[in-house]
Amino acid sequence: MSDSAHQRDDGTVTFLPHRLNRQPVIVRGMTADELWMTVGLAAALSLIAGMPLAILTRSIAVAPTLVVVGIAVGLFFGGGFLRRRKRGRPDTWLYRQIQWQARLLLPAATRWLGGADLINRSGCWTTRRSRP
């Protein structure tokens, strides 16, 4: 077959599977980006909790130990939580939710998170199919 038989007019290839460009699932239903977000959030929260505990016990080893334990707990519970939230939704749903929440709660951060392109509209939508 010729190469033109496998290409559409817009240049996309017809025989490739549609899941080819998706990120693979790595741990507990999370992709690499979701895994890094979960690990980062769990590490930051456990470090914040570990610093006062390290001061109280007068042992600096408590903080990194709590970070390691916090990451493990964060991966276990965070992976299950994200898997339940993402079930049946499109691949980009999580990222759009983060952008939308940032646009609503932190409008100054939308430039860095890419939420400035989202449309925020409140009001009634119509299909223009109703009779007058």
**pTM for this entry:** 0.67
CA 74 to chain centre: 15
31 or 118: which leads in pLDDT: 31
H or E element, residue 75: helix 62-86
DSSP 87-121: TTS-TTHHHHHHHHHHHHH-GGGHHHHTGGGS---
pLDDT band at residue 19, thresholds of 50, 70 and 90? low
CA angle 49/55/59 to nearest 5° reads 105
Q: Which amino acid is at 116?
A: A
Task: Give the domain ranges of the chain.
Answer: 23-115
Listed ranges 78-82, 88-92, 116-120; the one with the highest mean pLDDT: 78-82
